[in-house]
Structure 1
């Protein structure tokens, strides 16, 4: 299935110009619901109503405005907005800087898009891809997507260029404003040592395939059971951990749960037989 193109333009680094297409790299898998009127199961309609005129309005009567102070608005003409957007969209997406990926904290990332070369852009696309791989850098650029200028990082993912939109600095709230964050560490060396041991026990290579949305799967099973008129039985819930009253005891209990299985020599097949610790 061919990916839908959501933007066409050119990506520029230095004097090299690459005609490209933009495609969404991710998709939401949420189970979507409709709101029905309970007595008759008719889908509810949501209408735009002016509270001042006390009547419904259609799209032709709507205008965009900026509220510069409560109750005071600057109305913006659609033509002015379209002109500004067109000027931005027609510009080449220029890579402004190259930086180390590790310098961009994950809190800045928004959404990923795949970049594919448009007609005549294959060679330059390959050149940029190889240059990014060799240098281990990502390109920082600006792009207009859906009426919003986005800061972005251009990088390589499995032989494909990815444009990852990132927040501007003033869009990220300051950690110093988060309430109740302890200013000083209040734990013992022993607690830290056991916590590090627990992290080591649970450390592994990242394999996204091993993680799944249990709630979505159960929801789809419930819907399918109701569709077939069958009774739906929820699985037994795992025992929830109790509130931490003794940090050291909780850490030790966690370590005990993650103890590796002991290996003992077995004769069968010349392999090791396992038994639970």
Structure 2
């Protein structure tokens, strides 16, 4: 499993060297955009609208837009220094709380934690302590240039770092439009709804749920492949040096002929016959 991050998790005077691995993966079926006419993949270029040309990677700088079309430019060295300051810090567990005290709306992404060299004993110590107390740890950590709030908990027999949103990243529920203030259902309707919920209640089994759209899309793709309904993108013809040379010569010849036609002809002086000498 690929290691995304190495660091130290600490609580009190206990330090645990750990490695972090992505716990989930995106299984979306990625579709490409083709040009309908020739079925060639569309190319997206990074173009500066002011200079009207494509921009190379080394010409790009990062900036923060604090007002419309007003930016604060940040150079790579400044950003790297900020990252280094955060990377050098250990991931310290600040508090221990109950899991059910955190609403699921705060949860973002899960990462498995494995002990790094020499960290097996302290890893097991934290795991046992969390298991026995039923608590989870709240910590801060740096992931992909962003300081993340996270919880450290147990999933099966493995420690997991679960990134969670900061409070100011969760939008105010009061801004949701058209939410009724009070429930208007009568008692009979409510009893019927409760009965329906009771009949549909079950123990959560994640294996029971499938992505039916993704499955159907993959089956359709395989079916089209089996029926040879496929296309091959046409490669752009490479320039031929000989052809280019002939084109250049022909264009030069045409231009020379055009210039010759447009140039005014020089007037030539009329030759006069020499005067005959008269004998005296």
Q: Same fold (TM over 0.5)?
A: yes
- Secondary structure of the residue that 1:225 maps to in structure 2? helix
Q: Distance in 2 between matches of 1:131 and 1:190?
A: 48
- In structure 2, the partner of 1:201 is 199
SS at match of 1:84: helix
Shift of 1:19: 0.2
The alignment status of 1:164 with 2:162, answered yes or no, reads yes
Describe the superposition over 1:110-151 as per-residue Cα deviations: whole angstroms up to 9, x where unpaired: 000000000000000000001001110100000100000100
Pair 1:153-2:147 in alignment: no
Q: Any residues of structure 2 matched to 1:8-157 within 5 Å, and which?
A: 8-157=6-155
How far does residue 201 in structure 1 lie from its aligned partner after superposition? 0.4
CA distance in 2, matches of 1:112, 1:51: 39
**Runs (4+) of structure 1 moved beyond 3 Å?**
none
Q: Distance in 1 between matches of 2:60 and 2:162?
A: 33
Evaluate the alpha carbon distance shift between residue 77 and residue 230 of structure 1 in structure 2; reply closer, same or farther with a 3 A threshold.
closer
- Displacement, 1:86? 1.0
- Summarize deviations over 1:186-215 as a string: whole Å, max 9, x none: 010111111111111000100000100010
How far residue 230 of structure 1 moved from its aligned partner, in angstroms, is 7.9
The whole-number CA distance in structure 1 between the counterparts of 2:182 and 2:128 is 45
C-alpha RMSD of matched pairs (Å) = 1.0
TM-score of the aligned structures, taking structure 2 as reference length: 0.81
C-alpha distance in 2 between matches for 1:230 and 1:62: 43
For the residue of structure 2 that corresponds to 1:186, the secondary structure is coil
The alpha carbon displacement at 1:40 in A equals 2.0
Q: Distance in 2 between matches of 1:146 and 1:90?
A: 14
Task: Normalising by structure 1, report the TM-score.
Answer: 0.81
Instruction: State how many pairs are aligned.
Output: 229
Q: CA deviation at 1:4?
A: 0.3
After superposing the two structures, state which structure 1 stretch, 14-23 or 33-42, moved more: 33-42
Q: Whole-Å Cα distance in 2 between the matches of residues 206 and 94 of structure 1? A: 33
* Aligned-partner SS, 1:8: strand
Q: Pick the structure with more strand per residue.
A: 1
Secondary structure of the residue aligned to 1:134 is: helix
Higher relative contact order (CA 8 A, sep 6+): 2
Q: 2 CA distance for matches of 1:171 and 1:54? A: 37
Q: 1:199 to 1:230 in 2, by over 3 A?
A: farther
Q: Which runs of 5+ in 2 are unaligned?
A: 230-280
